[in-house]
Structure 1
Amino acid sequence: MFDFVTKNKRLIQIVLAIILIPFAFFGIDSYFRFTDTARTVARVGDYRITQQEFSQALRERQDTLRRVTGGQLDAAVLDSPELRYATLEGVIQRRLLLDRALRSGMTLSDAQLQRIIGELPVFRDESNQFSFARYQQFLKAEGMTSAMFEARMRQDMILQQLSGAYNGGAFVSRSVTERLARLSEERREVSHYTIAADKFLGEVRLGEDAARKHYEANPAEFQVPEQVRVEYVVLSLESLLAQVQVDPAEVRAQYESRRARFEVKESRQASHILIGVDSTAGADAGEKARARADDLYKRLAQKPAAFAELARQHSQDPGSAARGGDLGFISRGSMKDVPEFEEALFKLKPGEISAPVATRHGFHIIRLTSVQAAQVKPFEEVRGEIERELKQQLAARRFAEAADQFNNAVYEQSESLKPAAELIKAAPQASGWITRGRAEPAVLGSPKLLAAIFSDEVVKSRRNTEAIEVAPGTIVAARVIEHKPAAMQPFGEVRAGIEKRFALREAAKLAAQEGARQLGELRQGKSVAAAWSAPQLVSRAEGKGVGEAVVRQAFRADVTKLPAYAGVENPQGGYTVLRVTRVQEAASIPAERRQAFGEALRQVLGQEAFSAYVASLKQKAEVTINKVELERGQ
């Protein structure tokens, strides 16, 4: 269902525009930890959302926004009240849904969880097998234990079960689907012309004191924010990592002492033919499937080389049938959900074909193609990996030691950053002008660091800020070297801009008035001297160069009588008059297009039902928010 939405975004937008169904998405972006002594940001029934839990969720959302915007997002946005409230709303909704799911008996077994994690591409190696080493690297990078990650995955899967029950269960009638599909496929022939605001600038007369009055009534609009220039020093784990050198003998010693870690288990390349059994169909279906599998096995006994051909013809495993039944390489323990299959496979010799093996999926005829013996990866193959790990460990230790010394130097010698810079063998860097809401480079954009930089002690006394962690593994200290207080721009500098803006605004009003007048005459059947554009046959999805606002207005126009006229004000100023001269309805809707609309509608209705369900849970639950803690931060 979610794949469908991704591939048909434009289609869903059209459906939304037609039926105007509002719905809200909820965030699933945190996992839960509870500490009795922690400060409470919110309560959901008896459950307390701690400051620690909220801060973790907020950091995750901030990190996501940084990645999406390439670090260009205004620092003030990352710690805005709106983002904090939205994040808390996501945590509250997740808590409500988890509580309801668990009360309803929704669970995920250890075997199911293991299979899901094992199938995640991020943990697969070059041979498409689960890599425990990659799993461990991922956990380390995310700062999580396996228990924390598995708890999070379990919760996410349970929530998917709950949301899936709504997203996949909506009913849409054929007639509604057909009607909406036809509306979407409808095309209208549109031409238009624009009355530009610039034409009316000569008619605009502004009061002599209009600009001055606006300037005096809106001082905040012309306020230049407080600015500073700073020098700063950065201590980062990344820079220390570049300086670390590892003794080759230590790399070899690590390899020898941990050879078991680099062991590659025996794996077997297998193919199978699956004759499935419907678990609800009764004993007769099982017997028929068994007989069919036995018959195929007898044929293979006479002609083993026909395995791939028979798999393509008869196997009911769509994933492997097209490949002649090939399943790739399988190691022990990777098929715990079908232990009978794994047991039979590891008894075979290369080229041997098993008798039908019964599992919960049906009957499998298994062929062992080849065997990769267990082995330890050669030292040269893993040396780079071991070196990186040792460097990271050594750099982390040095960073922890340097951080303490750096912090002390910044605090104890607060009139200068040079001692702290010399300590980490770095030179202080200078910034350009920065404000409380915007700073370059990005390392200065931390809300906590900016708050420290603009504090009275740092600005007035020219003291160092404390050493502040602006990101995991990155600590920054700064001091102000130049300061500009907030000030009003002189009226003489902004007067021309104000007058130009006012003139354009008044000219736009005159253009809209003239446009409305001409539209009225056209609707009365009168002619208007205008340079109409060439007619274009457009649809809701394809504007063909016609502006979106014009297309939208064209499909709102009453076309019971043609030509039909409509008008729309332009955001940039001016007025566009449009004419619809022809309506072309779809002759027929292809089956796949109709099906796509049905899926889109079910998705939309399912989302609305799910949003209503979330709202009802919140209404029934006793939810309280501690605004002081919410706004306090870490």
Structure 2
Amino acid sequence: MFEAIRKHSKIVMGVLFLLIIPSFVLFGIDGNYFSEKSPTVASVDGKAITQTDWDNAHREQADRLRAQQPGMDSRLLDSPQARYATLERLVRDRVLATAAQRLHLMVSDAQLARELQNIPAIAQLRKPDGSLDTQAYRALVGAQGLTPEGFEAQMRNDLAVAQVMGGVVSTAFATPAESNLGMDALLQRREIQVARFDAASYASKVTVNEADLQAFYQAHPELFRQTEEASIEYVVLDIDAIKQGLTVSEDDLRTYYKENQDRLGTKEERRASHILINAPKDAPAAEREKARKKADELLAQVRKDPASFAEVAKKNSQDPGSAAQGGDLGFFTRDAMVKPFEEAVFSMKKGDISDVVDTDFGYHIIMLTDIKPSKIPSFDELRPKLEAELRQQQAQRKFAEVAETFSNIVYEQPDSLQPVAEKLKLKIQTATGVARTPNPGAEGVLANPRFLDALFSPESLQTKRNTEAVEVGSNEMAAGRITAYQPAETLPFDKAKDRVRSAYVAQKSAEMAQADGAAKLAAWQQAPASATGLAPAITVSRDQAQQQPPRLLDAVLRAPADKLPAWIGVDLGAQGYAVVKLERIVPREAEGEAQQKALQQQYAQAWTQAEALAYYDLLKQRYKAQIKVPRPSADPTEQE
């Protein structure tokens, strides 16, 4: 049969062509022909956000941050917390985009034009006659991989989405009375004395017998359940691993230095002061003429006495940002100012005073006060940086090729990670106590849900073979295998006895401390003079906890203060109990006018943020936004 097929292969191929192609034409090519469907990790308005969407969004975010800060530790970018933050941003963007669509928020051509003009890079493309240099504009947006039409459509969408929250943010306000009331509550200080009844000090008083331990074990089986866990070994392929095997040649380094001198060197900076007389382009001609006449008079004045420039600027300049500093604008490079202003400044000599310069803002008189020439560090000075950058670039280009080799080896030789480790010079790492969900404090691949899912898949558990190569981050892959597996179980009493004893003693110690503390509270409330064991008085506030537990601090600051002194009992859970004597309210320290304004602004910002978050929560409910993956655990070192 197979011989017949070989002899008539052309006929067979033709038949297959006729049978298969029409099915694609009629039904389309589904991505599932080539890859498994990506799981849903979130949804908004009934539309899924898949694992692939999440991975792509995080990769783009990480690549942007790496481009902005090349030295950033990649582990920070690919931590579970960073990945989850990307998912939250993705959901937020979908929610706001849905709201903009449902609310029919539109952006007019005039509004779009105004916003485009507010982008400095586009504003500088204006020709002397006020028209836009379309060729330069096309090149500018083309550098971002967009056409002008695509860029403007994206701008329209962004502006429409901004309107969703803009109505809330722009109308939020707080009066000085509200601000003072809120800040009084936030910054209030209270003088207290504390008596602590620590559970640990009662441990020696707990009587333990076998029957009590057995009863405690039977009543609290969840405390002694051994979770499913595994011992594993794994290898990670990332940019750092590839960089270790790369050698950068001297010729490549010197070529890279020559090609990047402009970027690696410092640009020329100039410092200037100016006097601005406001005269917008659309102002009436008479008004502009009057402003020009005023500028000419001031120009004559400062040219006659250049030393008076700062004083004249203070009295006459209409630039609120620099007038108080005598017109000083500080140091700036090219492309930082509008074109006419920049051309004037970079054509002057130190100490020169320009003619009147006409810009969209009005008429300027400019004095060039200092020049910092550009400086290009030598090759030897930059060598470490050049080598690191070039090695990084070469590793990124090589990653796809090496990743394919990595995937093939772990699949084709599934009984060991040694072959891939030897081939690619990777380190085989081990870990114990690994669970299906990331353990508190887990980092790297051990905190990656996709890697853990692959490890605990039925096939991996049964055969203890290599997992497939799993993409765990941007330019990062991993493969692992289980070496030992412990299924979930409730430990028998004999194995758990020490844990039972510790838990029993801890519970009884806390109960004794709480009972003793509550009794002392009742007695001291009846006879305050009998109170003993109170620590010296301290003053606490929300920003000055004085090393007091959060529960205690919260209870003290929430307690009514209409009748003082007051006695407060605080259950500290496993830590025991505390009795607090609230002595008095300590007035806030007097603030200067500037500090008061800063506090009012801080309160207004917090109020605005609270309103925005409340509105966003409402939108999430309205459009049924849901994240289907658990939030990563907090740092276990952070205690309540």
TM-score (norm 1): 0.69
Give the aligned partner of residue 103 of structure 1.
106
Instruction: Answer yes or no: is 1:112 the counterpart of 2:118.
Output: yes
Instruction: Answer yes or no: is 1:366 the counterpart of 2:366.
Output: yes
Give the aligned partner of residue 174 of structure 2.
172
The alpha-carbon distance between structure 1 residues 149 and 527, as it changes in their structure 2 partners (threshold 3 A), is: farther
Give the aligned partner of residue 564 of structure 1.
566
One-letter identity of the residue aligned with 2:226: V
Give the aligned partner of residue 420 of structure 1.
420
Which range is displaced more, 428-437 or 397-406? Answer: 428-437
Give the aligned partner of residue 12 of structure 1.
none
Q: Report the CA distance between 1:366 and its aligned residue.
A: 1.8
Q: Report the CA distance between 1:302 and its aligned residue.
A: 1.2
The alpha-carbon distance between structure 1 residues 230 and 575, as it changes in their structure 2 partners (threshold 3 A), is: closer
Deviations 1:581-618 (A, max 9, x none): 34444586643444344323322332233234334545
Distance 2:263 2:75 in 1: 37
Which SS does the other structure have where 2:522 is aligned?
A: helix
- The 5 A counterparts of 1:421-460 are 421-426=421-426, 428-432=428-432, 434-437=434-437, 442-460=444-462
Verify the 8 A CA contact 1:565 1:580 in the aligned structure 2. Answer: yes
The alpha-carbon distance between structure 1 residues 169 and 285, as it changes in their structure 2 partners (threshold 3 A), is: farther
- The 5 A counterparts of 1:241-320 are 241-249=243-251, 269=270, 271-277=272-278, 290-308=292-310, 310-311=312-313, 314-317=316-319
Verify the 8 A CA contact 1:410 1:420 in the aligned structure 2. Answer: yes
Q: Report the CA distance between 1:297 and its aligned residue.
A: 0.8
Which range is displaced more, 568-577 or 47-56? Answer: 47-56
Give the aligned partner of residue 353 of structure 1.
353
Which range is displaced more, 467-476 or 147-156? Answer: 147-156
Which SS does the other structure have where 2:118 is aligned?
A: helix
CA RMSD of aligned residues (A): 5.2
Q: Report the CA distance between 1:505 and its aligned residue.
A: 2.6
Instruction: Answer yes or no: is 1:411 the counterpart of 2:411.
Output: yes
Listed as ranges, the gaps of 5+ residues in structure 1 are 1-34, 119-135
The alpha-carbon distance between structure 1 residues 283 and 194, as it changes in their structure 2 partners (threshold 3 A), is: farther
Which SS does the other structure have where 1:245 is aligned?
A: coil
Distance 2:375 2:545 in 1: 61
Verify the 8 A CA contact 1:276 1:363 in the aligned structure 2. Answer: yes
Distance 1:171 1:95 in 2: 26
Deviations 1:247-276 (A, max 9, x none): 4445566778x6897799996735232335
Verify the 8 A CA contact 2:54 2:90 in the aligned structure 1. Answer: yes
One-letter identity of the residue aligned with 1:576: A
Give the aligned partner of residue 328 of structure 2.
325
Which SS does the other structure have where 2:436 is aligned?
A: coil
The alpha-carbon distance between structure 1 residues 209 and 68, as it changes in their structure 2 partners (threshold 3 A), is: farther
Give the aligned partner of residue 467 of structure 1.
469
Verify the 8 A CA contact 1:255 1:379 in the aligned structure 2. Answer: yes
Distance 2:214 2:279 in 1: 82
Q: Report the CA distance between 1:299 and its aligned residue.
A: 1.5
Listed as ranges, the gaps of 5+ residues in structure 2 are 1-28, 32-36, 66-71, 125-139, 631-640
Verify the 8 A CA contact 1:185 1:585 in the aligned structure 2. Answer: no
Instruction: Answer yes or no: is 1:607 the counterpart of 2:609.
Output: yes
Q: Report the CA distance between 1:491 and its aligned residue.
A: 1.7
The alpha-carbon distance between structure 1 residues 227 and 593, as it changes in their structure 2 partners (threshold 3 A), is: same
Give the aligned partner of residue 128 of structure 1.
none
Deviations 1:381-416 (A, max 9, x none): 887777666545543454333332332222222233
Verify the 8 A CA contact 1:272 1:367 in the aligned structure 2. Answer: yes
Which SS does the other structure have where 2:568 is aligned?
A: strand
Distance 1:519 1:259 in 2: 73
Which SS does the other structure have where 2:174 is aligned?
A: coil
The alpha-carbon distance between structure 1 residues 434 and 307, as it changes in their structure 2 partners (threshold 3 A), is: same
Select which of 182, 191, 194 maps to 1:192: 194
Which SS does the other structure have where 1:416 is aligned?
A: coil
One-letter identity of the residue aligned with 1:522: W
The alpha-carbon distance between structure 1 residues 501 and 530, as it changes in their structure 2 partners (threshold 3 A), is: farther
Which SS does the other structure have where 2:573 is aligned?
A: coil
The alpha-carbon distance between structure 1 residues 356 and 61, as it changes in their structure 2 partners (threshold 3 A), is: closer
Verify the 8 A CA contact 2:77 2:83 in the aligned structure 1. Answer: no
Distance 1:150 1:240 in 2: 40
Identity %: 29
Verify the 8 A CA contact 2:59 2:474 in the aligned structure 1. Answer: no
Which SS does the other structure have where 1:565 is aligned?
A: strand
Verify the 8 A CA contact 2:75 2:444 in the aligned structure 1. Answer: no
Verify the 8 A CA contact 1:277 1:289 in the aligned structure 2. Answer: yes
Distance 2:286 2:523 in 1: 79
Deviations 1:215-258 (A, max 9, x none): 345544323334443444443332332332344445566778x6
TM-score (norm 2): 0.69
Verify the 8 A CA contact 2:525 2:567 in the aligned structure 1. Answer: yes
Select which of 575, 578, 581 maps to 2:577: 575
The alpha-carbon distance between structure 1 residues 573 and 86, as it changes in their structure 2 partners (threshold 3 A), is: same
Give the aligned partner of residue 11 of structure 1.
none
Distance 1:164 1:448 in 2: 37
- The 5 A counterparts of 1:369-408 are 391-392=391-392, 394-408=394-408
Which SS does the other structure have where 2:421 is aligned?
A: helix
Distance 2:595 2:329 in 1: 34
Distance 2:120 2:438 in 1: 45
Give the aligned partner of residue 492 of structure 1.
494
Distance 1:160 1:194 in 2: 52
Q: Report the CA distance between 1:365 and its aligned residue.
A: 0.6
Verify the 8 A CA contact 1:186 1:586 in the aligned structure 2. Answer: yes
Verify the 8 A CA contact 1:263 1:374 in the aligned structure 2. Answer: no
Deviations 1:482-528 (A, max 9, x none): 44444443423433432443344344334434433443343344643
